[in-house]
Structure 1
Amino acid sequence: MPHDHPDHDNHLDPMDARVRALETILAEKGLIDTAAVDAIIDTYAHKVGPQNGAAVVARAWTDPAFADWLRRDATAAIASMGFTGRQGEHMQAVFNTPAQHNVIVCTLCSCYPWTVMGLPPAWYKSPSYRSRVVIEPRAVLAEFGLTLPEDTAIRVWDSTAELRYLVVPMRPEGTSGMTPGELAGLVTRESMIGTGLARVPQ
């Protein structure tokens, strides 16, 4: 979020406007350095984020040995790609199949694998999602536009401070000739949470 365009504040949504106002007050009091804040935001926007998880998924789709490693020890497999750090110290990958679809949630707060998926979306932290996806996952997924076959079981994984999950969505059909980079472009944040599927190639 840039700090040199105050005239644009009127285009911010209410939450962004509040964040901007709080940041301005803290900076004026000398409690934060706006350059440091920008560096942190840039890190989560471009270095730590869903593009990392997408690269992990694409490699699992194309490298059976890596996929097996990811199943057995996701923490080590993900770290081998250089994705380590806060909120990703202990990972488990769960693989979607035609028989089982996986969804992740944190029912107690908002534990989330930042190193591979960036900052959590607002809805992931909402009390409604956190409570309802455990009780009625099929209905919640339908609200995200994802309707699964009745014979597909849905398993909900509850993240904790000690363990976080990454859903490996099924590889879309018609992607056999695609490169890992092209495949990564089909992997969405929602598909790695389980509230969506990987994109179908155009």
Structure 2
Amino acid sequence: MGHNHHHDHDDHSHLSGIELRVRALESILVEKGYVDPAAIDALVETYEVKVGPRNGAKVVAKAWADPDYREWLRTDATAAIASLGFIGRQGEQMVAVENTPDQHNMVVCTLCSCYPWPVLGLPPVWYKSAPYRSRAVLDPRGVLAEFGVHLPETTRIRIWDSTAEVRYLVIPMRPDGTEDMSQEALAELVTRDSMIGTGLARQPEAMR
């Protein structure tokens, strides 16, 4: 299963009706020279990878650093996330699930592409693809391996299926050697994929 993170202009099999109409409109605007496809790709990449996931990274970093907030996030994620100002459509009902040495959590939407926009921005193309949506359930360990994540056989993998009513945020495990780091520095270790469960938090030495 490929997991290209860029704006895909060729494979439309995973798109909904409204997404197909948007893509058709985009094609017309490009053909008439009104918009630059490279600019569109850059904009999508910004909201997929940079701007959107920064909100979630702040949530995770605060949970790592503040035990009281971490417990609040685990028991009422919607309110805990809203307290940081991250609210809005696609984030009305949030559930946070925490990775441990014994259990790794991974999020998928098997029916479409439900995704927590307020904390993760726009969903990446691979998240919406049929191969990910099916294989994440049938072969989660194999999918993780394709993302470069290799877990011990003793670690249980639990799949959470997002719906129109409930969306999930994975709290990745805090890397060792980060005890003296500020919340701002901790947030830099949190990746979008680690909050979906298809990745792990960065190691602090990787940021040097």
Structure-2-length-normalised TM-score: 0.79
For residue 190 of structure 1, what is the amino acid of its counterpart? D
Q: Which runs of 4+ in 1 moved over 6 A?
A: 16-19, 25-28, 40-43
Cα distance change, pair 188–161 in 1 and its aligned pair in 2 (3 A): same
For the pair 1:193 / 2:177, whether they are aligned, the reply is no
**Displacement of 1:24:** 4.5
Cα distance change, pair 64–144 in 1 and its aligned pair in 2 (3 A): same
Contact 1:53 1:116 in 2 (8 A): yes
For residue 131 of structure 1, what is the amino acid of its counterpart? S
**Displacement of 1:48:** 5.7
Contact 2:98 2:173 in 1 (8 A): yes
Corresponding residue for 1:52? 55
Cα distance in 1 for residues equivalent to 2:79 and 2:8 = 40
Cα distance in 2 for residues equivalent to 1:120 and 1:78 = 19
For the pair 1:68 / 2:71, whether they are aligned, the reply is yes
SS at match of 2:9: helix
**Displacement of 1:23:** 3.5
1:82 maps to which of 62, 76, 85: 85
For the pair 1:22 / 2:28, whether they are aligned, the reply is yes
SS at match of 1:176: coil
Cα distance change, pair 161–26 in 1 and its aligned pair in 2 (3 A): farther
Corresponding residue for 2:154? 151
Corresponding residue for 2:116? 113
After TM superposition, list the pairs within 5 Å mapping 1:26-37 onto structure 2: none
SS at match of 1:131: helix
Q: How big is each residue's C-alpha offset from its partner over 1:1-26, in whole Å with a ceiling of 9 and x where there is no partner? A: xxxxxxxxxxx976299775334479
Q: How big is each residue's C-alpha offset from its partner over 1:57-107, in whole Å with a ceiling of 9 and x where there is no partner? A: 000000000000001100000000000001111100000000000000000
- Give the gaps of 5 or more residues in structure 2: 1-5, 11-22, 35-39
Cα distance in 2 for residues equivalent to 1:124 and 1:46 = 13
- Give the gaps of 5 or more residues in structure 1: 1-11, 29-36
Corresponding residue for 1:177? 180
Corresponding residue for 2:165? 162
Q: Kindly tell me the number of residue pairs found equivalent between the two proteins.
A: 181
Coordinate RMSD, CA, aligned: 2.8
Structure-1-length-normalised TM-score: 0.81
SS at match of 2:185: helix
**Displacement of 1:130:** 0.1
Q: How big is each residue's C-alpha offset from its partner over 1:151-201, in whole Å with a ceiling of 9 and x where there is no partner? A: 000000000000000000000001011100000000000000000100001
Cα distance change, pair 45–167 in 1 and its aligned pair in 2 (3 A): closer
